[in-house]
Amino acid sequence: MRNVTLKREWVLGWLLLLPSMVLLFAFTHIPAVTTFLNSFYSTPRGRRAAKFIGAENYERMLGDPVFWQVLWNNLWFALGTIPVSIALALVMALWVNDRLAGRGFVRMAYFTPTVLPMIAVANIWLFFYTPGFGLFDQITGTLFGWPATNYLGSPETALNAVIVVTVWKEAGFFMIFYLAALQSIPQSLKEAAQIEGANRWTIFWRITFPLLMPTTLFVSVNAVINSFRLVDHIFILTDGGPNNASALLLFHIYEVAFQHWETAYAATLTVALLLILCLLAIGQFFFVDRKVHYK
């Protein structure tokens, strides 16, 4: 009797788990494992089935100059976007946390880029960057008399132009987290520090900033992941060009997989990407987490 009820509960439990398990396995776990396996096989073409080739794909990757270039680009992209967007988010949050006229409007304005779809954002910025009559050229042209510049079309500036768009897009999103964290810091802590003779600068560095560390860690993990994940705007802005100058790792994977149809090699690149992300996340949690005070 008891066995039967236990068994029924067990079945019910699995049935309840089933929908999310099917989704997770179909779209996350099975593809991940298949990707890993595929990276050791050749790309199947026509009648020629995939055959096991060992680490050949990995050898090819390490010898591929384009791989190293997109990895290098990605490093620059991360270094350019992460610190700037986090710093900007913090400054904006501190500003809109103060009493100022039209605070609600300013907060909304900062958050707007996050709400807009990346593709739409990229299209707007495409106009800003347009040589000759784009916003930037018009401003620099009238103010300093600079000649028309093709920001997105020249290898020196293409990646930086993409970085600017990403920072603009991300800072508002991170600001929301900082703003929430700032509002959870009791006012009396600042007052106590004030009475002890601390000025605004000291209060920020000795009180506010340390208490924001959990948020900073969270935001920076997100920023690192985003720097490898956010590639939508590249399709619109530069399409990875010129000469791969603004191609990032994930963008390159897309190109290899769905434009050149070298799926096995793309699987290898994906494994490399996952490995990098894992290492970064583990590193952040192990090295930064120790210095964070959680309430």
User: Applying CB under 8 A, does 184 fall inside the site for other proteins?
Assistant: no
Least distance (Å) from other proteins to the CB of residue 189?
5
Contact 126, 153 (CB under 8 A): no
Least distance (Å) from other proteins to the CB of residue 97?
18
Least distance (Å) from other proteins to the CB of residue 186?
7
Q: Could you give the angle at which helices 213-229 and 155-183 cross, rounded to 10 degrees?
A: 150
Rounded to whole angstroms, the Cα distance separating 194 from 203 reads 8
Radius of gyration of the chain (CA): 24
How does DSSP classify residue 206?
A: I
The nearer residue to other proteins, 159 or 193, going by C-beta atoms, is: 193
Give me the amino acid identity at 242. P
User: Applying CB under 8 A, does 290 fall inside the site for other proteins?
Assistant: no
Instruction: Tell the burial category of 26 from Cβ atoms under 10 Å away from its Cβ (0-12, 13-18, 19+).
Output: exposed
Number of residues that bind other proteins (CB under 8 A): 20
Least distance (Å) from other proteins to the CB of residue 98?
16
User: Applying CB under 8 A, does 293 fall inside the site for other proteins?
Assistant: yes
User: Applying CB under 8 A, does 189 fall inside the site for other proteins?
Assistant: yes
Contact 162, 155 (CB under 8 A): no
In the list 54, 197, 286, 287, the residue contacting other proteins (rule: CB under 8 A) is 197
Span from 76-84, 182-190, 251-259, 267-275 in contact with other proteins (CB under 8 A): 182-190
Give residue 35's Cα distance to chain centre: 22
Contact 141, 52 (CB under 8 A): no
Q: How many helices (H) and strands (E) does the chain have?
A: 15, 0
Instruction: Assign 52 to helix, strand or coil.
Output: strand
User: Applying CB under 8 A, does 198 fall inside the site for other proteins?
Assistant: yes
User: Applying CB under 8 A, does 210 fall inside the site for other proteins?
Assistant: yes
Span from 100-108, 112-120, 138-146, 202-210 in contact with other proteins (CB under 8 A): 202-210
In the list 102, 186, 239, 243, the residue contacting other proteins (rule: CB under 8 A) is 186
Contacts (CB under 8 A) with other proteins, residues 75-104? none
Instruction: Kindly list the residues in this chain that would bind other proteins in the complex (CB under 8 A).
Output: 186, 188-189, 191-199, 202, 206-207, 210-211, 213, 293, 295
